[in-house]
Amino acid sequence: MPHVTAGGLWHTSRRRRRLLIVLCRVAPVAAADVVISGASASLPLREAGISTGASGSLLGCEHREHVQLRLRQEQNTYVSPPGTGMAGLKKMEEVTAAAAAVAASSTAEKRAAAVVVPDAALTMNGAAGAEEKTAAAAAALEDLPAPAALSGWPRRVGLYLFVMNIRSVFKLDELGSEVLRIAVPASLALAADPLASLVDTAFIGRLGSVEIAAVGVSIAIFNQVSKVCIYPLVSVTTSFVAEEDAIISKCIEENSSQDLEKASPVDSETNNLPCTNPSDQGCKRKYIPSVTSALIVGSFLGLLQAVFLVFSAKFVLNIMGVKNDSPMLRPAVRYLTIRSLGAPAVLLSLAMQGVFRGFKDTKTPLYATVVGDAANIILDPILMFVCHMGVTGAAVAHVISQYLITMILLCRLIRQVDVIPPSLKSLKFGRFLGCGFLLLARVVAVTFCVTLASSLAARHGPTIMAAFQICCQLWLATSLLADGLAVAGQAVLASAFAKNDKGKVVVATSRVLQLSIVLGMGLTVVLGVGMKFGAGIFTKDIDVIDVIHKGIPFVAGTQTINSLAFVFDGINFGASDYTYSAYSMVGVAAISIPCLVYLSAHNGFIGIWIALTIYMSLRTIASTWRMGAARGPWVFLRK
């Protein structure tokens, strides 16, 4: 019978210094446990017939108690069951190694560690079933949250989520596949619109520096006004739809098992949700209150934005620094007025994108966005150069593409859900307004910094403004790729919080944060090289290209910070931490705005980008502190 000493599994000095930490999640172990006491180790595997050098006592985990584990190389023999051979030992080593974490230090004796392995992992009733049971144990340990997250002593911070299971950052397990399935289409869809704007910028740049500077100011105004409505609408819609969809699905499952008492809502704000199974009523669509509410709110806000910008275009441009005697005023007014006509389509389409994200379906918005932006790219040169419409043609092409996107999404949505409310009381306007106003304050504070930067750049003349417009479009287009991870994190966390699944909250947060850092580092390299050698794609003006090259360290170097900031936004929204998101961003803006004004006045173009770097860094620090301090929705990390 082949055998190997316990030291065979724990021979290296590194492994001997490590503590095995797994908080028991099962009932008391009946047939197998690991007990260490003093200088001797015991592996009582009674049902497997494995001999041990010392007898061990059975320590259960009814109250999540811990047993002390000390590995000693010189004692105890592990004998593999007949027929398993070294294959069984190898699998057992993998099971044990999966639980290894947290290196032992001088205070190891004060922090007793434990390994309590489920019965199926160690109980071997014969050679025939040995390998199957060890494989089952390995699968069970894989599903457990990281040992660091389940340590026996209370934690004061949540920063360990940045490094928890870091070796599994690229692992395509169930969580990795879910994040990838949501994040990749969402990233492509989010990047599509800025990339279409880059195409607009490239075409308009052929008209001259005055035209591209005028369009840059107009786009900054349109985006600022749109974001005041877009981010509260989309973010709230995604979280609410994800929560309500999870709750309704749970209710349907429980109703089908005739267990109606367990079909209670998670919180008082999500009560009175329809829990009837659509198939029982002869229909294939279900009604979700937040879907209809989002469509109504999006349509109203879009019409309001269009009316405001059409009648106040010249006034707003004057505020932005484009005076009446500026050559940028006339093309800027034309572009802004025409593009404002597409505001209802923009708001309505983004509201529907939020709905699909709540369903964890990001492929449908990607399909619609690609079709619309492709139409925009095709129409741009035709209207601008063939029809000689100039910047007006660029605006018309953009408006047409937005209405095309809206029609595609609306047709797909009404096939999936019932958008007609059974009554006005079923609408969730109260929840939208309550959380929406908090996010409104946040969005105004956050986006005002970028708009102010555009305004300050415009005051330095067409050359600086043209360079800033190109740099800003690149900065946002690449950074928004991280928003795909933010969407995935928000959808997964909103559903997990609704189901009170704290384990999934922890591992999902850790995974998306680690992926955001990797993405940011990759974008830094790509963008730095691309801006150095590809600036001529956007303009032929040598002076503008020289200014663009000065911004490379800031535009490319801040990509990791930007990625973390955007992903933290999704995490906070998924946790419904709207109050802190609003107040913290107001504080960030209060510091960043004076920095922008001062540095722009004294350092010009470089000063603006230094201030924007400070702004993004503060955003990241504020969100990191919330999670790291285990406050608000993260207080459970201390337990």
Note whether 138 and 56 are within 8 A (CB): no
Regarding pTM above 0.75, the answer is no
pLDDT digits (tens, 9 = 90+) for 432-472: 777 878 888 887 887 788 878 888 988 888 888 888 888 88
Note whether 155 and 630 are within 8 A (CB): yes
Q: How far apart are CA 492 and CA 79, in angstroms?
A: 44
Q: Say what the pLDDT of residue 625 is.
A: 92
pLDDT, mean over the chain: 74
pLDDT at 115 over 60: no
Note whether 490 and 574 are within 8 A (CB): yes
pLDDT digits (tens, 9 = 90+) for 331-365: 999 999 999 999 999 999 988 998 998 898 989 99
pLDDT at 327 over 60: yes
Q: Say what the pLDDT of residue 275 is.
A: 52
What letter represents residue 491's amino acid? Answer: A
E-state strands within 394-512? none
Q: Say what the pLDDT of residue 530 is.
A: 86
Q: Say what the pLDDT of residue 85 is.
A: 44
Task: Tell me which of 48-52, 90-94, 376-380, 586-590 is least confident.
Answer: 48-52
Note whether 557 and 609 are within 8 A (CB): no
Given pLDDT bands bounded at 50, 70 and 90, which one contains residue 273?
low
Nearest to 291 by CA among 260, 334, 245, 323: 245
| Choice between 149 and 367, residue whose per-residue pLDDT is larger | 367
Q: Say what the pLDDT of residue 284 is.
A: 59
Given pLDDT bands bounded at 50, 70 and 90, which one contains residue 3?
very low
Q: How far apart are CA 350 and CA 223, in angstroms?
A: 13
Q: Say what the pLDDT of residue 190 is.
A: 75
Given pLDDT bands bounded at 50, 70 and 90, which one contains residue 231?
confident
Task: Tell me which of 91-105, 291-305, 375-389, 557-571 is least confident.
Answer: 91-105
Percent of the chain whose predicted confidence (pLDDT) is above 70: 70
Residue for token digits 């974008």?
A: 523
Given pLDDT bands bounded at 50, 70 and 90, which one contains residue 119?
very low
Given pLDDT bands bounded at 50, 70 and 90, which one contains residue 71?
very low
SS3 assignment, position 455:
helix
297-330 b/e with 16+ CB inside 10 Å = b? bbeebbeebbeebeebbeebbeebbbeeebebbe
pLDDT at 632 over 90: no
110's tokens: 């004060």
Nearest to 6 by CA among 52, 60, 61, 66: 52
pLDDT at 128 over 60: no
Q: How far apart are CA 546 and CA 516, in angstroms?
A: 31
- Nearby residues of 183 by Cβ (< 8 Å), 6 or more positions away: 362, 484, 485, 487, 488, 512, 515
SS3 assignment, position 79:
strand
Nearest to 294 by CA among 226, 351, 230, 229: 351
SS3 assignment, position 283:
coil
DSSP letter at 384?
I
Q: Say what the pLDDT of residue 194 is.
A: 67
Q: Say what the pLDDT of residue 352 is.
A: 92
Q: Say what the pLDDT of residue 613 is.
A: 93
What letter represents residue 292's amino acid? Answer: T
Note whether 519 and 505 are within 8 A (CB): no
Note whether 178 and 485 are within 8 A (CB): no
Note whether 405 and 353 are within 8 A (CB): no
Q: Say what the pLDDT of residue 637 is.
A: 86
| Choice between 637 and 47, residue whose per-residue pLDDT is larger | 637
Burial of 402 (0-12, 13-18, 19+ CB in 10 A): buried
Given pLDDT bands bounded at 50, 70 and 90, which one contains residue 279?
very low
Given pLDDT bands bounded at 50, 70 and 90, which one contains residue 69?
very low
Phi, psi of 111 (to 5 degrees): -110, 85
Q: How far apart are CA 518 and CA 80, in angstroms?
A: 42
| Choice between 205 and 145, residue whose per-residue pLDDT is larger | 205
Note whether 497 and 575 are within 8 A (CB): yes
Give the Cβ contact number of residue 337 at 10 Å. 18
Q: For 496-503, which contacts have Cβ atoms below 8 Å and span 24 or more sequence positions? A: 497/243, 497/266, 497/574, 497/575, 497/576, 497/633, 498/242, 498/243, 498/246, 498/247, 498/266, 498/270, 499/246, 499/250, 499/266, 500/266, 502/636, 503/145
| Choice between 507 and 102, residue whose per-residue pLDDT is larger | 507
pLDDT at 74 over 70: no
- Nearby residues of 479 by Cβ (< 8 Å), 6 or more positions away: 523, 559, 562, 563, 566
pLDDT digits (tens, 9 = 90+) for 153-203: 345 578 888 988 888 888 888 998 999 999 888 888 877 776 777 777 788
Phi, psi of 4 (to 5 degrees): -150, 145
- Nearby residues of 349 by Cβ (< 8 Å), 6 or more positions away: 368, 402, 405, 406, 409
| Choice between 24 and 166, residue whose per-residue pLDDT is larger | 166
Q: How far apart are CA 172 and CA 414, in angstroms?
A: 33
Given pLDDT bands bounded at 50, 70 and 90, which one contains residue 264?
very low
C-alpha distance from residue 55 to each of 24, 33, 44, 125, 161 (Å) = 22, 12, 7, 20, 38
- Nearby residues of 215 by Cβ (< 8 Å), 6 or more positions away: 200, 201, 204, 331, 332, 335, 391, 394, 469
Categorise residue 65: left if φ over 0, alpha if ψ from -120 to 50, beta otherwise.
beta
pLDDT at 368 over 50: yes
Q: Say what the pLDDT of residue 88 is.
A: 45
Q: Say what the pLDDT of residue 609 is.
A: 93
| Choice between 286 and 85, residue whose per-residue pLDDT is larger | 286
Q: Say what the pLDDT of residue 458 is.
A: 85
539's tokens: 């303009």
pLDDT at 100 over 70: no
Nearest to 473 by CA among 561, 566, 548: 548
Q: Say what the pLDDT of residue 589 is.
A: 92
| Choice between 201 and 595, residue whose per-residue pLDDT is larger | 595
Q: How far apart are CA 330 and CA 312, in angstroms?
A: 14
Given pLDDT bands bounded at 50, 70 and 90, which one contains residue 86?
very low
